Amino acid sequence: MCRGLGVYLVLIGVVGAVGWAGRADPQAAPKPNRAIHFGDIVLTGFERVEVALGKSAKATGPNTTVDAVDDARKSSARLQAALMTAFLAPKDPDRVERVEAQGNVRFQGSRPASGGAAGSQVVRGTGSKAVYYRDRRLLEMQGPITFAADEPAPGGTGRQTVNGRADRAVYDEAKNVLSLIGDVQATVVTPQTTANGSTFSGDRVDVDMSSNPYTVVISVTAPERGRVNIRLREPENEPQEGTQRK
C-alpha cells in the first residue's frame, strides 16, 4: 500500500462513524421523473440524452444523475455531473460496464456500516471528472476533489467521519477502501477526538473502511510533506493536543 519513497505512517484505530449532517436520506430523494433505465442503472435529471441502443447512453444537463442500486449488497451509488456517458458491457448488455462523468461531478455511495454495526456508511465526493466502473465497483475521481465518509462509531455511540481534499481519489467499493492521492488534507473526527478532530496530510492516504474503526495509511514522498495532528478528548473535555511531524 505504501509504495516507494518516504515515510509511512500508519494510524490504526481512527475513524468509523455516522452523524454526517448531510447524509443520504432515501425518503427525501426526489421521485424519478423522465427516467431511463439503461442496463442496471437509472438515468434521471438530464436535459438531453442520446442512446446508441445496445451500446451507450450520453446524457447532459447540470443535474444529470446516475443511480446504481445493488439489492444483494444493500448498497447504492449516485453519480451526478453535467455530462455523463454510460457504456453497456459488450458481453452482458443488460449491465453497465462503466460511467464516465465530467463537469461538477458529485458522488455518493451508501452501504451497511462496517463491522456489523447498525446504520449505514456513506461516502461522498466531488471533483471535475470521474469514471465509475460499475462492474468492478470502482470509482476514479479527478480533482481537485473533496471527500467525506462517515458511519456509526464502534460501540454505537456517535459517529466517526473523515473528510478533506486531494488531487484525486479512488474509491474501491468492492474492497471498501478510499485512496486519496496528491496533496491530501484530511480530518478525522471520532467520539475520542475533539470536535475539530485530528488532521493529517500526505501524498497519499488510504482509508480502509472495511474495518471498524477504520485503518488509515499515510504515505509521503518527503518528510516535510507528511503531518499528523491528533487531538484527543480528555475526560474533563479539555483537549490534549499532540503534533507529530514526519
Residue ranges in contact with another protein by CB under 8 A? 34-39, 43, 46-54, 57, 88, 93-94
Shortest Å, Cβ 68 to another protein: 15
Shortest Å, Cβ 102 to another protein: 19
Q: Which is nearer to another protein, 135 or 241 (CB)?
A: 135
Question: CA 11: distance to chain centroid?
Answer: 19
Q: Which is nearer to another protein, 39 or 213 (CB)?
A: 39
Q: Which is nearer to another protein, 50 or 135 (CB)?
A: 50
Q: Which is nearer to another protein, 58 or 165 (CB)?
A: 58
Shortest Å, Cβ 51 to another protein: 4
Shortest Å, Cβ 43 to another protein: 8
Shortest Å, Cβ 61 to another protein: 10
**What is the rounded distance in angstroms from the CA atom of residue 215 to the CA atom of residue 173?**
16
Q: Which is nearer to another protein, 44 or 114 (CB)?
A: 44
